[in-house]
């Protein structure tokens, strides 16, 4: 008797979406594919959900004529990776993404409360490897925004990383002349 074929150690993007088509994953399951592993996402607490609603309105108002603002939708970040970032601002009109999920983004934003370690370590590497020119973490715990720019695809790292505090603004790399106020991203102080 020969041994069974070993199970694949990492799922590809196609295998991941096949799980949905087969009904093994439901479209409303809160999961994402990170480096070939299906990872569950934490439920949203009220500060996270409220921040998503506020930033959605802000980004659509600011960028809606320049790009597509996708909220918590799949982004193909590599052959083994399909995160669902809180925001992915992608080029083109919305119909460009009707038949397939985007595989490039001009800006990605994650709102971090309980997900801060994953957003800092795993997701920053994923977005840098995907060549996303600017990645922002709206750090609700620290009441600041972490800004990552100049991705180095070959090392999966951003060359520039800094922290922006209340009262500051961050220029949008993919949209010359446009910026965001850190206070608008963070909303009212917690406490």
Q: What are the DSSP calls for 61-96, one per residue?
A: HHHTTTSEEEES-----BTTBB---SEEEESS-GGG
Is the Cβ–Cβ distance between 20 and 84 less than 8 Å?
Answer: no
Question: What is the per-residue pLDDT across 123-160, written as a single tens digit (0 to 9) for each?
Answer: 999 999 999 999 999 999 999 999 999 999 999 999 99
Lowest-confidence region among 1-5, 25-29, 99-103, 167-171: 1-5
CA separation for the pair 95, 90 (Å, rounded): 12
- Taking each continuous run of H as one helix and of E as one strand, the counts in the chain are 5, 10
How many percent of the chain have pLDDT more than 90? Answer: 81
CB count in 10 Å sphere of residue 69: 23
Average pLDDT estimate for 174-189: 95
Which domains can be identified in the chain, with CATH numbers? 43-186 (3.90.1570.10)
Sheet containing strand 157-164, strands side by side? 68-71, 87-90, 107-112, 134-139, 144-152, 157-164
Residue with tokens 């199970």: 7
d(CA 53, CA 6): 44
Write down the pTM of the prediction.
0.92
| Mean pLDDT, residues 175-185 | 97
């Amino acid at each position: 008797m020969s041994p069974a074929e070993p199970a694949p150690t990492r799922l590809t993007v196609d295998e991941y979406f096949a799980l949905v088509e087969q009904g093994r994953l439901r479209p409303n399951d809160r999961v994402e594919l990170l480096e070939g592993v299906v990872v569950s996402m934490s439920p949203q607490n009220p500060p996270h959900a409220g921040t998503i609603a506020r930033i959605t309105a802000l980004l659509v108002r600011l960028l809606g004529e320049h790009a597509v603002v996708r909220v918590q939708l799949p982004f193909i970040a590599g052959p083994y990776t399909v995160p669902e970032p809180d925001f992915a601002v992608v080029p083109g009109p919305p119909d460009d993404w009707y038949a397939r999920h985007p595989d490039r983004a001009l800006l990605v934003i994650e709102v971090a409360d309980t997900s801060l370690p994953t957003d800092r370590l795993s997701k920053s590497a994923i977005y840098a490897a995907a060549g996303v020119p600017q990645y922002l973490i709206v750090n609700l715990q620290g009441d600041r925004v972490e800004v990552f720019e100049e991705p180095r695809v070959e090392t999966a790292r951003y060359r520039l990383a800094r922290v922006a505090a209340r009262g500051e603004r961050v220029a949008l790399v993919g949209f010359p002349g446009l910026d965001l106020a850190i206070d608008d991203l963070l909303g009212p102080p917690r406490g």
